[in-house]
Chain A
Amino acid sequence: MPPDTLEFEEPIAVLLKEVEALSMMESTPERIREIAALNRRVESIRGDLYARLTPWQRVLVARHPARPSVLDYVNRLFTEFTEIYGDRRFADDHAIVTGMARYKDQPVLVVGHHKGGRDTKQKIFRNFGYARPEGYRKALRAMRLAEKFRRPIIAFIDTPAAYPGVESEERGISEAIALNLREMFALEVPILVVVHGEGGSGGALGIAIGDRILMHEFAIYSVIPPEGCAAILWRDSNRKVEASEALKLTAPDLMAVGIIDEIVPEPIGGAHTNLDAAASLLDTALDRALRTVSAVPADERLDARYRKFRAMGSVGIIEQGA
């Protein structure tokens, strides 16, 4: 299978192999026509597949190794990105990236998880996007910088989870996430959150409090990975497909219960098939959202942010007689 195709894309993979084989042969008008026809079939099948992805297939797309990272979007949509490092307490956590940048000619602060992409060395360097306490503390330090100088914050969410290791516990991963949750409700500057990949539980939420929560069409956002949920509730991690359905972790599901505000469309076949197109689609949504939240006075924005999260879960509560 070509490296970019997922298990459910096998019909595409077969055709792509044919295209590859034909491309290696001597080019003739007939072969060119054949390749073009095959590519049209690929696009058509891809369109069909992606029009009705199952929750588990969305999990695979959201975790695709070629899924654009925060830096892929920053490089395409932002200018003058200046990364800053470290939590001024313990270390620099490479699983969370932050820095100053310009967006639409306006200074903003960018913060986001980074899984490391497809390169093994990069993945290890980034700890596969599993941030440790110092990552969350670096993020808060940077966000306070934005607060001090009145610059909007744009947070990119893509992590499997906070790092479940001994040193995370020793250095207070719980406290680091908890403090971010509390303090992000007190930051007066606009905060936009983009869940563009994997919204992995508390590790995602730790930098995901904001005024507008955007989520990519094929991204996921969940309280627990489907494998973990299956292992606990079904006592069998192979039941991950069922768990992914039960958890309601897709963008449309989360939109329906008011956890996200907007779904960012992706190119057919997912953001990884066309990074430029994906960036351009995000640009439209981001620009609009930033204008909307920036137009509101700070105190009203803080109040609206509170009420937005305050309402989460109300759909699941009834008042019963004693």
Chain B
Amino acid sequence: MAWFKKSRKPIAPSAAEKPSRVPEGLWVKCPGCAQIIYSKELETNLNVCPKCAHHFRIGSLERLKSFFDGEWTEHFANLASTDPLQFTDTKPYRGRLESSQAATGMKDAVVVGSGRMDGLHIVIAAMEYSFIGGSMGVVVGEKITRAAELALERRVPLIVVACSGGARMMEGALSLMQMAKVSAALSRLDREGVPFISVLTDPTTGGVTASFAMLGDLNIAEPMALIGFAGPRVIEQTIRQKLPEGFQRSEFLLEHGMLDLIVDRRDLKATIGRALRFMEPRPVDQGRSAGPSGHARPS
């Protein structure tokens, strides 16, 4: 690991090695503008290129740190997959799990935390792409569902930062059902008027997009993120044509009406803070008992 590891303060009880996608070393060549950037400078800039605003992929812990005001608490950190299908392809899934766990210090591909953001109590789940492509298996589904249930119980906003290749096929139909499970929990939040903000980062595809990532009261994407249901290669094989430039990027989705807004990572916290103040219960509602009667259901 690079030198910057030492400079990090522990940010959570089970804080793991930072699984950052920023290349190691003192200097980084930006794939956006080909300029050489000082790593430290990149890091203090939330891993956004100061020259061209290229967004480097960041890890889940770094993501949480960028949202919370200060201290935060991690939840459900001990949940792990049992490899329910005893799946083996060219190598056993159990081995893939173990090597991902060793590499990231995490038990699966999402971290859930609660704390304050812009002074507001919130619950956040952030996905970890370096753990088997951020894929959603039973543990990811369970943790995001529990995060939603925690937000509902505390009546605080839920934020989920998606960064995932989709369902985890090594857990078969059980992973598919996580789409349903998380959506069920979000259905309750929706009915109870508890805010849910979905943040889509590069990449957000497959079953993750076709469930919670598209169900936010606001769906906010980082610039240039790959967002889609089917992978570009699958689509190319189906239509036997080259895909148009910019297809399935944030800007493409915004243009087609599928996103509420695209926000630079450096403005994300402030933007979400403003949105959550819009979504706060009005004083007149506060005396009411919790329940659907307090909030009109969208139809």
Q: Which residues of A contact B (CB under 8 A)?
A: 144, 162-166, 168-175, 177-179, 181-183, 185-186, 199, 201-202, 205-206, 209, 221-224, 228-229, 232-235, 242-243, 246-249, 254, 257, 259, 305-306, 309-310, 312-322
Contacts and interface: CB of A to CB of B under 8 A. Distances in A.
A131 to B, nearest CB: 12
B82 interface: yes
Contact of B230 (A168, A242, A249): A168
Nearest to B258: A172
Interface in B205-248: 206-207, 209-215, 228-230, 234-235, 238-239, 243-244, 247-248
Contact of A164 (B141, B178, B179, B238): B238
Which of B14, B78, B173, B191 lies at the interface centre, i.e. has the most chain A CB atoms within 10 A of its CB? B173
Given A170-B256, A177-B229, A249-B172, 12 more contacts: A165-B239, A169-B228, A177-B210, A177-B211, A233-B170, A246-B87, A310-B145, A312-B180, A313-B174, A316-B171, A320-B107, A321-B78
Interface stretch (B38-46, B182-190, B263-271, B275-283): B182-190
Contacts of B52: none
A174 B177 contact: no
20 contacts: A162-B210, A164-B235, A164-B238, A165-B235, A166-B244, A168-B229, A174-B229, A178-B213, A181-B184, A182-B190, A183-B187, A201-B176, A209-B184, A259-B174, A312-B177, A313-B177, A316-B81, A316-B82, A317-B79, A322-B78
A259 B173 contact: yes
B35 interface: no
Contacts of B138: 313-317
A224 B228 CA distance: 16
A79 to B, nearest CB: 31
A319 B82 CA distance: 10
Contact of B180 (A166, A222, A232, A309): A309
B104 interface: no
B234 to A, nearest CB: 5
B264 to A, nearest CB: 23
Interface in B63-117: 77-85, 87-90, 107
A315 B173 CA distance: 13
Contacts of A319: 78-80
Contacts of B80: 317-320
Nearest to A178: B214
A181 B182 CA distance: 9
Closest 4 CB pairs of A and B: A316-B84, A313-B138, A164-B230, A181-B183
Interface residues of B, number: 69
A181 B208 CA distance: 12
A156 to B, nearest CB: 18
B180 A322 contact: no
Contact of A224 (B14, B77, B90, B167): B167
A247 B169 contact: yes
Contact of B142 (A169, A259, A317): A317
Most A CB contacts (10 A, CB to CB) among B174, B238, B256 go to: B174
A173 B171 CA distance: 23
Interface string B269-299: 0000000000000000000000000000101
A100 to B, nearest CB: 21
Contacts of B176: 201-202, 205, 222-223
B89 to A, nearest CB: 4
Contacts of B187: 182-183, 185-186
A229 B88 CA distance: 12
A299 to B, nearest CB: 11
Contacts of B77: 322
B175 interface: yes
B18 interface: no
A313 B214 contact: no
A174 B209 contact: yes
B155 interface: no
Nearest to A209: B180
Contacts of A322: 13-14, 77-78
A310 B184 contact: yes
Nearest to B174: A313
A181 B228 contact: no
Contacts of A224: 167, 169
Given A174-B213, A201-B176, A309 B181 contact: yes
B160 interface: no
Contacts of B137: 313, 316
B235 A166 contact: yes
Nearest to A144: B299
A171 B256 contact: yes
A257 B174 contact: yes
A162 B172 contact: no
B161 interface: no
A6 B299 CA distance: 47
B173 A178 contact: no
A171 B206 CA distance: 15
A321 to B, nearest CB: 7
Given A164-B238, A178-B212, A181-B211, A249 B85 contact: no
A249 B85 CA distance: 11
B139 interface: yes
